[in-house]
Structure 1
Amino acid sequence: MNHLLILPVLIPLLAGAFLVVVFVAPLALQRLISLVSTALLVLIALLLFRQVMVGNHVLYTLGNWSPPFGILLVADRLSVLMLLITSALAVFCAMYAGRGDDRKGAHFHALLQFQLAGINGAFLTGDLFNLFVCFEILLIASYALLLHGGGVARCRASLHYVILNLVGSAMFIIGVGILYGVTGTLNMADLAVRVANAPAGDQPLLTAASLLLLVVFGVKAALLPLLFWLPRAYTAASAPVAALFAIMTKVGIYAMLRVFSLIFGLETGLVSTTAWQWLWPLALATLALGGIGVLGATNLRNLTAYMVIVSTGTLLATLALGTREAIGAGLFYLVHSTLMTATFFLLADLIARQRGVAADHMVVAAAMKDHRILGSVYFIGAIAFAGLPPFSGFISKVWILQVAGETGNQTWLWPILLVAGFMILIALSRAGSKFFWRQSGARPHQWRADPARLGVVIAMVLGSAALSMAATPVMTFMLDTADAISAPQHYVEAVEAVALRAMGGL
Structure 2
Amino acid sequence: MIQHLPIVPILLPLVAAIVLLRKREGVDPVRRTISITTTTLLVMASLALTLQAADGHIFVYHLGNWPAPWGIVLVVDRLSALMVLLTSLLALCCLMHACSGQDGEGSNFHGLFQLQLMGLNGAFLTGDLFNLFVFFEVLLLASYALLMHGGGKPRVQAGLHYVVLNLAGSSLFLIALGVLYGSLGTLNMADMAQRVSSLPAERTGLVYAGALLLLVVFALKAAMLPLYFWLPRAYSSASAPVGALFAIMTKVGIYAQLRVFTLIFGDQAGQLSGLAQPWLWWGGLATLAVAAVGVLSARDLRIQITYFMLISVGILLCGQGMAAVDSRGALLYYLVHTTLVSGGLLLLADMIADQRGKVGTRIARGRAFHHTTLLGALYFVGAIAMAGLPPLSGAVGKAWLMSTAAFNEALWLWPVLLLSSLAGVIAASRAGSTLFWRRSDGEPGGTHLARGKLIGTASLLATAPLMVILAGPISDYTQATAAQLGATQQYRNAVLSGNTRAQEGVE
The residue aligned with 2:86 is 85
The unaligned stretches of length 5 or more in structure 2 are 502-507
Asked whether the equivalents of residues 270 and 322 of structure 1 are also in contact (C-alpha less than 8 Å), the reply is no
Q: Secondary structure at the match of 1:60?
A: strand
The residue aligned with 2:245 is 244
| Structure 1 residue 277: Cα displacement | 2.1
The residue aligned with 1:449 is 449
| Structure 1 residue 274: Cα displacement | 3.5
| Structure 1 residue 464: Cα displacement | 1.4
The residue aligned with 1:150 is 151
Q: Secondary structure at the match of 2:142?
A: helix
> In the aligned structure 2, how far is the partner of 1:489 from the partner of 1:270?
18
The residue aligned with 1:498 is 498
Q: Which residue identity is paired with 2:405?
A: A
Asked whether the equivalents of residues 386 and 421 of structure 1 are also in contact (C-alpha less than 8 Å), the reply is yes
Asked whether the equivalents of residues 285 and 313 of structure 1 are also in contact (C-alpha less than 8 Å), the reply is yes
The residue aligned with 1:115 is 116
- Identity level (%): 49
The residue aligned with 2:430 is 430
Q: Secondary structure at the match of 2:370?
A: coil
* TM-score of the two chains, using structure 2 as the length reference: 0.96
Structure 2 counterparts to residues 269-418 of structure 1, below 5 A:
272-410=273-411, 412-418=412-418
1:39-98 Cα distance to aligned partner (Å, 9 max, x none): 111111111112112352011000011100011000000000000100000000111100
Asked whether the equivalents of residues 193 and 263 of structure 2 are also in contact (C-alpha less than 8 Å), the reply is yes
The residue aligned with 1:59 is 60
Call closer, same or farther: CA 1:446–1:473 in 2, change over 3 Å. closer
The residue aligned with 1:258 is 259
Q: Which residue identity is paired with 1:167?
A: A
> In the aligned structure 1, how far is the partner of 2:398 from the partner of 2:270?
24
Asked whether the equivalents of residues 279 and 316 of structure 1 are also in contact (C-alpha less than 8 Å), the reply is yes
| Structure 1 residue 462: Cα displacement | 1.3
> In the aligned structure 2, how far is the partner of 1:408 from the partner of 1:55?
30
Call closer, same or farther: CA 1:500–1:237 in 2, change over 3 Å. closer
The residue aligned with 1:103 is 104
The residue aligned with 2:467 is 467
* TM-score of the two chains, using structure 1 as the length reference: 0.96
Structure 2 counterparts to residues 222-237 of structure 1, below 5 A:
222-237=223-238
The residue aligned with 2:504 is none
The residue aligned with 2:505 is none
Asked whether the equivalents of residues 67 and 499 of structure 1 are also in contact (C-alpha less than 8 Å), the reply is no
Asked whether the equivalents of residues 336 and 392 of structure 1 are also in contact (C-alpha less than 8 Å), the reply is yes
Residues 478-487 or 274-283, more deviating: 274-283
Q: Secondary structure at the match of 1:443?
A: strand
Call closer, same or farther: CA 1:271–1:245 in 2, change over 3 Å. farther
> In the aligned structure 2, how far is the partner of 1:340 from the partner of 1:419?
21
1:226-255 Cα distance to aligned partner (Å, 9 max, x none): 110001101100000000000000001000
Q: Which residue identity is paired with 1:175?
A: A
> In the aligned structure 1, how far is the partner of 2:25 from the partner of 2:314?
44
> In the aligned structure 1, how far is the partner of 2:429 from the partner of 2:452?
27
Q: Which residue identity is paired with 2:363?
A: M
> In the aligned structure 1, how far is the partner of 2:399 from the partner of 2:323?
18
Q: Secondary structure at the match of 1:366?
A: strand
The reply to whether residue 204 of structure 1 matches residue 205 of structure 2 is yes
Q: Which residue identity is paired with 1:164?
A: L
Asked whether the equivalents of residues 261 and 270 of structure 1 are also in contact (C-alpha less than 8 Å), the reply is no
Residues 237-246 or 279-288, more deviating: 279-288
Asked whether the equivalents of residues 58 and 75 of structure 1 are also in contact (C-alpha less than 8 Å), the reply is yes
Asked whether the equivalents of residues 196 and 266 of structure 1 are also in contact (C-alpha less than 8 Å), the reply is no
The residue aligned with 1:193 is 194
> In the aligned structure 1, how far is the partner of 2:234 from the partner of 2:112?
17
Asked whether the equivalents of residues 341 and 463 of structure 2 are also in contact (C-alpha less than 8 Å), the reply is no
RMSD over aligned CA atoms reads 1.6
> In the aligned structure 1, how far is the partner of 2:431 from the partner of 2:40?
34
Asked whether the equivalents of residues 366 and 444 of structure 1 are also in contact (C-alpha less than 8 Å), the reply is yes
Residues 239-248 or 431-440, more deviating: 431-440
Higher relative contact order (CA 8 A, sep 6+): 2
1:127-162 Cα distance to aligned partner (Å, 9 max, x none): 000000000000000000000000110000011100
| Structure 1 residue 272: Cα displacement | 4.4
